[in-house]
Amino acid sequence: MEIEFLDGENAGQVLDVPRKRLRVAWAEVDAYDQLVSNWERISGYELTDAESDAVEQVFELLIPDGVAAWSWKPVRYACVIRGWQELERITRRDCAGLLDGVDSFEHEDALWTSPLGTVRIAEAVAHANAIPVLASIHEHERECRERSARGRAPSGNGDDAGTTAEWEYENYLAHHRPVHELLRQWCGHRAVTFHERLMAAEQEIQRLDDLLAYTLDALRGTTGAVSVPHLEEIHHRDRITPYNIRPVIERPLCPSEIPVEVVYRHAWWTR
């Protein structure tokens, strides 16, 4: 295609441009310029690393793609909403008020919002559906605790050498913990408290059921003699409460901090 510049610094210049470089036909250039202007207008808000990871988790867990989705381009983490009524059902609130003051525009039968709107939608969805979000956090923290204690073994791929416990713990503090705390904040203090009380109650019931079965076996004489003080100690020592239900990711100990356990054995020549 031959392109001639009619004004500006390059007025009168003619260039041979491959057809694939032309975005639209000349008759559609005004609409295309307006679209580009809209993309630029909604690109002013940038997400933090914690916000972007939290948004991805909430959208993947609770929002179907046909209702709303975050995009990679032309604006990263812009939100495209296709199912307005379904989104209001998921968030349990008026989305027009939720997106008040957020830059947006309509394009191809969908509403595009800035990344600020994406964060607001993810926060509203997490607040309205706290239990699955908190359950996902709890499961991920259990994985982080295991890796921070043992590291990660190589996967068998020649390029994957695995990780150490120290590296996993630093990675948890830098990347995973901020996301977990942000998601808990989105869910709300009341939802977090309710979820931890519910999990503690369920696990405490299971523990007491196991303790009762152990006691009955002791009374039948199938597990040997068991004293009452011993049963009382087990009952109080292993009690599960909302204060100890959350997995605790601890710093791996240095070799000098690990207690030394001395085991005495008879020499083979004295047997």
Confidence of residue 111 (pLDDT cuts 50, 70, 90): very high
Predicted local confidence at residue 225, as pLDDT: 67
Shared domain for 104 and 143, answered yes or no, is no
How far is residue 126's CA from residue 188's CA, in Å, rounded to a whole number?
9
Cα R_g (the chain), whole angstroms: 29
Q: Look at residue 243 and tell me if it is in a domain.
A: no
Cis peptide leading into 247, omega within 30 of 0? no
Mean pLDDT of the chain: 87
Q: Are residues 171 and 225 in the same domain?
A: yes
In a domain, 255, yes or no: no
- Of 84-88, 187-191, 221-225, least confident by mean pLDDT is 221-225
Nearest-angstrom CA–CA distance, 93 and 69: 18
* 91-101 burial code (b ≥16 CB/10 A, e <16): beeebeebbee
Q: Is 245 a member of any domain?
A: no
Any domain includes 250: no
Cα separation, 65 vs 81, whole angstroms: 9
Indicate whether 141 and 94 sit together in one domain. Answer: no
67: pLDDT strictly greater than 60? yes
CA pair distance 226, 214, nearest whole angstrom: 10
In a domain, 199, yes or no: yes
Q: Residue 258 pLDDT more than 80?
A: no
In a domain, 271, yes or no: no
Tokens 């409460």 locate to: 241
Confidence of residue 119 (pLDDT cuts 50, 70, 90): very high
**89 located within any domain:** yes
Query: Does 134 share its domain with 224?
Result: yes
- Which pLDDT does position 217 carry in this prediction? 81
DSSP 82: S
Q: Tell whether 265 is covered by a domain.
A: no
User: pTM for this structure?
Assistant: 0.75
In this prediction, residue 79 carries a pLDDT of 95
Distance CA 251, CA 168 (A): 10
Q: pLDDT digit string (tens) for 81-93?
A: 999 999 999 999 9
36 and 56 co-located in one domain: no
Residue 26's pLDDT is what? 73
| 57 in the same domain as 25 | no
Angle between helices 177-187 and 49-62 (to 10 degrees): 60
pLDDT at site 262? 83
Q: What is the pLDDT of residues 129-140, one digit of tens each?
A: 999 999 999 999
Number of structural domains found in the chain: 3
The pair phi, psi for residue 227, each rounded to 5°, is -85, 155
Which of 3-17, 95-109, 182-196 shows the lowest per-residue confidence on average (mean pLDDT)? 3-17
What percent of the chain is helix, strand and coil (3-state, nearest 5)? 55, 10, 35
- pLDDT category at 256 given cuts 50, 70, 90 is confident
Residue 148 shares a structural domain with residue 227? yes
Are residues 14 and 29 both part of a single domain? Answer: yes
142 and 191 fall within a common domain: yes
Which residues in 115-134 are b (16+ Cβ under 10 Å) and which e? bbbbbbbbbbbbbbbbeebb
The pLDDT, as a whole number, for residue 247 is 81
Residue type, 108: E
Burial of 148 (0-12, 13-18, 19+ CB in 10 A): buried
Q: Both 144 and 233 in a single domain? A: yes
103 and 147 co-located in one domain? no
Same domain (yes/no): 35, 122: no
Q: Which domain holds residue 97?
A: 49-128
Tell me how far apart the alpha carbons of residues 6 and 11 are, in angstroms, rounded to a whole number.
5
